[in-house]
Amino acid sequence: MIRYNGRKLIYLCMGVMGLIFLLVNHVTNDSREVDKAWQIEIDPITRMNISNVQAGGLDQRELYKKFFVFSSKCKMPKVNPFVEGFPELKPLKFKACTDEPSLVSVIYDLAKKHYMLHLNMEKSLKNFANYSAFGCTYFEIVPGAADIEAYLLLFFLCSVKAPEYFHQDWVVPSHFLGVIVECHEMANKSRVLQRDAFAFVQHPKNRNEANDALRGAQYPSVFLFGIDSMSRMNFRRSMPLTSKFVRQKGWFEMEGFNKVGDNTLPNLMAILTGRTPRQWQSLCDVRKPGCLDSLHFLWHHFHNVGYLTAYAEDLSSISTFNYLKMGFKRPPVDFYLRPFLMVIGQFLQTVEYFGFKYCVGRRHSFSYVFDYAKQLIERFVFEQPKPLFGLFWTSSFTHDDCRGGANLDGLFLSYMEQFKDYGLFEKSVVILLSDHGSRNGALAEHYTGFLEERQPMLHIYLPPWYRKLYPSVVEALNLNRNRLSSNYDLYLGLRNFIEQTHPRMDYFRNIKCDQCLSILKVLPFNRFCQRLQLFDLEFVEQKLINEENIYGQVKTYSLYSRTQ
Ligand SMILES: *[C@@H]1O[C@H](CO)[C@@H](O)[C@H](O)[C@H]1NC(C)=O
Ligand SMILES: *[C@@H]1O[C@H](CO)[C@@H](O)[C@H](O)[C@H]1NC(C)=O
Ligand SMILES: *[C@@H]1O[C@H](CO)[C@@H](O)[C@H](O)[C@H]1NC(C)=O
């Protein structure tokens, strides 16, 4: 049934040239989410309807039912996302990306540490009975070149390489980042049975396995899962299943967590580099190639102490470091999914919802990112523990539509359950976070929009062994739940995970930030909202009446310049 012959060179190359054209156009013009200057004027100010006197009569538990944060210097009213007047957040009706069974699947041979492409013949006999003898080809996707250059590499590759046929349980070479496979009739090659794509987590070469095993047992792996534009309130409402999952033992919700920048880039940069836009902009211009490569990200710090590092984000065309920026010249981490996503986004059929690629080929674009995380967890948490720091970010459901979370909820929970089966929550620190809330649309226009926009969700999970070893961290997180915290505190908290295992480590460059403190340590009770300039002090002074009336006068002030 499977034979070796046939080339599809010209078709592929024309596609690639098309892409290059598209990409160039895309990069030069798209004004959807331009990074504005870092000073943004905000008008509506929030007022509270509970006076200090009234609040004094409430006990802590009652108080924190009404407030996320309540101190004399900072008060953040709690919004009940289940009261009337909130926009409906029911899941929209979508078809699954495909209901066909997979013709090709991937098998990992743990002993030999390689992947194989497996043809599911039984399925093919049933579902593709109409087709005569077929063959399957693969087209390789290799890492190396990052970001924009991946296109050029692909172009180069395709001018020298054509898809090749493969046989049952063909062994994937160890330098492949992924493959695109296509099965077609041998008698008529344009009758395609199925196209699909797979990314691989190849066993890292040149590592000291004994050291890795030792570190794997001692250092906590740190997994960050991000959902774009997801506020604390919207998360509770639109993702009830996942919300329930993160209320289990070991999870801490940071209710006083506030964003520090307008859109994704400044907020993620604060978490990953600890720097303000002014600080990283003073180092170089992110619109110039090579700039991002020269900055110190958390993954570099983790790498330096022996961690493997990973980063994957769906929607590769608008991803955080590439949208109107130059992206990375070199892959920033050991496991970098972007080149794979860029290629499949162009070669496979896509379906758009919420204004973005929702299905790419046979799967949600989101699934490629979380399947990649799953493979990493399988390989490095479950099978052969090695410490890993990874960031997995999804925007495709939620970036432009506050209802998207409802569609994502079940899928997301199912990944969490699978991760659980691989022992993720026995061993690793897991952080579920977002960059900001809805910045426009129904939720932002609601009278609680001021809070919606500024309060991204942040949930921190500590595994049992870690909680036992560091009771002070547990205590701190319990207190910090209702204290004002920011991205900079989270950055320092993530660094703490390194410092705990390397107490003498002193290579971090000191980033000036008087007001920042690790979120793993007890944060000051009386932080000024204003000092962090997350909320204006006057906001605090307002005498507020009740939850239903969190509203107020118009005032402008700048949010994002941190006191230095
Ligand atoms: C990009 O688009 C905006 C608005 O759509 C337009 O004003 C601007 O001139 C365009 N820029 C380029 C370089 O085409
Ligand atoms: C075979 O092809 C016919 C006509 O194209 C179609 O209606 C039928 O569903 C196909 N059967 C299978 C098993 O794919
Ligand atoms: C090959 O398949 C395509 C797509 O199904 C069809 O349009 C075409 O007529 C077929 N060619 C031959 C020679 O049967």
The one-digit pLDDT tens for each residue of the chain (564 residues) are: 333 333 444 454 555 555 554 444 444 333 333 332 222 223 233 334 444 545 555 677 777 877 888 877 777 888 788 876 777 777 888 778 998 899 999 999 999 999 999 999 887 777 888 888 889 999 998 765 545 555 555 555 554 467 899 999 999 999 999 999 999 999 999 999 999 999 999 999 888 999 999 999 899 999 999 999 999 999 999 999 999 999 999 999 999 999 888 888 889 989 999 888 888 888 888 778 888 888 889 999 999 999 999 999 987 666 777 766 667 888 899 999 988 888 888 889 988 887 778 899 999 999 999 999 999 999 999 999 999 999 999 998 888 888 889 999 999 999 999 999 999 999 999 999 999 998 888 888 877 788 888 899 999 999 999 999 999 999 999 999 999 899 999 999 999 999 999 887 765 555 667 678 899 999 988 887 654 444 333 333 332 222 222 222 222 222 222 222
Rounded to whole angstroms, the Cα distance separating 289 from 292 reads 8
Pocket test for ligand 2, best of 125, 130, 131 (most atoms within 8 A of CB): 130
Q: Residue 99 falls within a domain, yes or no?
A: no
Burial (Cβ within 10 Å: 0-12, 13-18, ≥19) of residue 15 = middle
3-class secondary-structure state, position 296: coil
What's 275's domain CATH number? 3.40.720.10
Question: Of 316, 390, 320, which is closest to residue 357 (Cα–Cα)?
Answer: 316
> Do 333 and 245 share a structural domain?
yes
> Do 108 and 63 share a structural domain?
no
Q: Residue 212 falls within a domain, yes or no?
A: no
Closest protein CA for atom 3 of ligand 2: 130
> Do 332 and 296 share a structural domain?
yes
- Looking at the structure of the chain, the number of domains it has is 3
Domain boundary (30, 58, 77) is at 77
Question: Of 54, 31, 94, 114, which is closest to residue 546 (Cα–Cα)?
Answer: 54
Please give the distance, rounded to the nearest whole angstrom, from the Cα atom of residue 324 to the centre of ligand 1: 13
Please give the distance, rounded to the nearest whole angstrom, from the Cα atom of residue 118 to the centre of ligand 3: 27
Closest protein CA for atom 11 of ligand 3: 188
> Do 64 and 182 share a structural domain?
no
Q: Residue 381 falls within a domain, yes or no?
A: no
Q: Is 188 in the pocket of ligand 3 (CB under 6 A)?
A: yes
**What is the CB neighbour count within 10 angstroms for residue 174?**
12
> Do 141 and 71 share a structural domain?
no
What is the domain range of residue 60?
2-77
Q: Residue 375 falls within a domain, yes or no?
A: no
- Distinct helix (H) and strand (E) counts, the chain: 22, 23
Please give the distance, rounded to the nearest whole angstrom, from the Cα atom of residue 120 to the centre of ligand 1: 49
Closest protein CA for atom 9 of ligand 1: 29
pTM, rounded to two decimals: 0.81
Q: Residue 210 falls within a domain, yes or no?
A: no
Q: Is 34 in the pocket of ligand 1 (CB under 6 A)?
A: no
29 CA: nearest ligand 1 atom: 1
> Do 281 and 170 share a structural domain?
no
First to last CA, the chain: 69
Closest protein CA for atom 1 of ligand 2: 130
Which pair of tokens denotes residue 66? 């009404």
> Do 424 and 293 share a structural domain?
yes
